[in-house]
Amino acid sequence: MKEMLLKYGCNPNQKPSKIFMEDGSPLPVEILNGNPGYINLLDAFNGWQLVKELKKATGLCAAASFKHVSPAGAAVSAPLSDTLKKIYFVDDLELSPLATAYARARGADRMSSYGDFAALSGICDRETALMLQREVSDGVIAPGYTDEALEILKSKRKGTYNIIKIDESYVPNPIEIKQVYGISFEQGRNELDINNEMLSNVPTINKNIPDAQKRDLLISLITLKYTQSNSVCYVKDGQAIGIGAGQQSRIHCTRLAGNKADIWWLRQSPKVLGLEFADNIRRADRDNAIDVYISDEYEDVLKEGVWQNIFKVKPEVFTKAEQKEWLSQNDGVALGSDAFFPFGDNIERAKKSGVSYIAQPGGSIRDDNVIETCDKYGIAMAFTGIRLFHH
C-alpha cells in the first residue's frame, strides 16, 4: 500500500487527509483492523519510536500509552508489587513481560491514558491483548501479533479497534520534511543514541548514580525525546510516573509532572488502597473518584448523596498533613529534562516528589545555582550536554 486515505485530519473540517511515502515506496505499516485517524497515526508512530528505543537501551520489553502526540506513560518490563497490580487493576490477570510493561505505562497516569493509543516493542501476546481488550483505548501498534491476540483485539469496540502492524526493519529517510502555513520545513532526523555515556558528566558533590537509576534516567530521556516540549519526566523502578508536556515555562512543567508523580504515589497509600467502591463501578470511574479524593475537591466527593454512588462506605478524609507525610516516604526518583533548568526552583520542586537523580543538558548561566541546590539535598545530577526538544 503506497498511500492511505484518512477520514479527516486533526479536525473534521480538515479534508482531504492521507498518509503516503514521498518517494512513492510502500508504507511500512499494515492496518490489520479498524480505520485509524490522523492523530491516531501520529500517536502510533511516535509511540513506536519511543518503545523501540527503550528496548534497545535497556534490553527489556517496552510499552507506551500515547495521547495527543505525547506519552501519558512509558515503561519497561519490571516486576510489579501487589500494590501496583492493585492500583493498575491487573491483579486478576496473568502478566507476560510485555503485558507488565503496558500495565506500567497505562497505570502511570490512568486518567490521561483513557482513550490512548498503545505502542508495544514486541509481538503482542494473549496476555497483553486481554489487558487492552478491557481498557478504553483507540488502538495499538506493534511489530506483530499472535493469532490469539489478534482475534481478541479484533473483538474490541464492536470490531472497529485500530490494530497496526509496523515493519520492524523500516529505516526512515535521514531528512524529514513537514509543512506549516504552506511553507516547507526540512531538518535532519533526531537520531541521537541515548546511552550511559550521557550520564558521565556529574558536576554535583554526589556523583553516585546506581545502575538501576541510570536505567531510569535513560527511560526519562528517551521518553522526553518523543514528548511535546517543554517537557520533564519523573521515573521510578522502570516506568514514567509523571510527564509534563507542552509547557511554556520549565517550572510549570516540573510542577505538572511532579503533581502527577505525587498522585501516583498517593494512590499507593493505605487510605486510597482501603477505599471500598460500590459494586460494578467502572475502572475509569474509580480513577476519577480517586483523583478527586486526593485533591482539594475531596469534600465534594464526601457530600451526602454523592459518595453513596461511588463507595460502599463513606471514606475518611485524607488530610493534607497525612498526604504530606505519605509523600515524604517517596525517594529514589529519577528526573529528566529536555532542556536546562534555568533556576534552582525546579530542583526544590523535584525534591518534594522524591527526586534523588537528575539528567539535564546544563548550559544555563545559573548552572551554579542549580548545582548548589542539588548539593543542598544530596542529589546526583548529570549534565548530558544534549537538548531534546520535540515539536
- Give the pLDDT confidence score for residue 172 in this predicted structure: 95
Residues 379 and 292 in one domain: no
**Residue that is written with C-alpha cell 510499552 in the block:** 63
Q: Are 253 and 233 in contact (CB under 8 A)?
A: no
For residue 347, the domain's CATH number is: 3.40.140.20
| DSSP 8-state assignment for residue 353 | T
| DSSP 8-state assignment for residue 104 | H
Closest alpha carbon to 217 in 58, 372, 389:
58
Residues 94 and 22 in one domain: yes
- Give the pLDDT confidence score for residue 176 in this predicted structure: 94
In order of 48, 82, 94, 123, the CA distances from 91 in angstroms are 27, 7, 8, 23
Residues 194 and 305 in one domain: no
32 phi and psi angles, rounded to 5 deg: -85, -20
Q: Would you name the residues annotated as active-site residues?
A: 67-68, 230, 391
Determine how many CB atoms are found less than 10 A away from the CB of residue 287: 20
| Segment 266-322, tens digit of pLDDT | 999 999 999 999 888 888 888 988 998 998 777 776 776 678 888 888 888 899 999
Domain boundary residue, one of 155, 171, 187: 171
Q: Are 14 and 34 in contact (CB under 8 A)?
A: no
Domain boundary residue, one of 113, 143, 171: 171
Examine residue 389 and state whether it is found in any structural domain, yes or no: no
Residues 333 and 281 in one domain: no
Q: Are 315 and 302 in contact (CB under 8 A)?
A: yes
In order of 34, 231, 242, 245, 274, the CA distances from 249 in angstroms are 39, 9, 17, 11, 37
SS3 334: strand
Q: How many domains does the chain contain in total?
A: 3
- Spans of the chain below 70 pLDDT: 301, 304-305
Residues 63, 68, 72: CA angle, nearest 5 degrees:
40
- Give the pLDDT confidence score for residue 292 in this predicted structure: 87
Q: Please give the residue range of the domain that contains residue 310.
A: 270-317
| Segment 147-195, tens digit of pLDDT | 999 999 999 999 999 999 999 999 999 999 999 999 999 999 999 999 9
- Give the pLDDT confidence score for residue 296 in this predicted structure: 76
Residues 112 and 246 in one domain: no
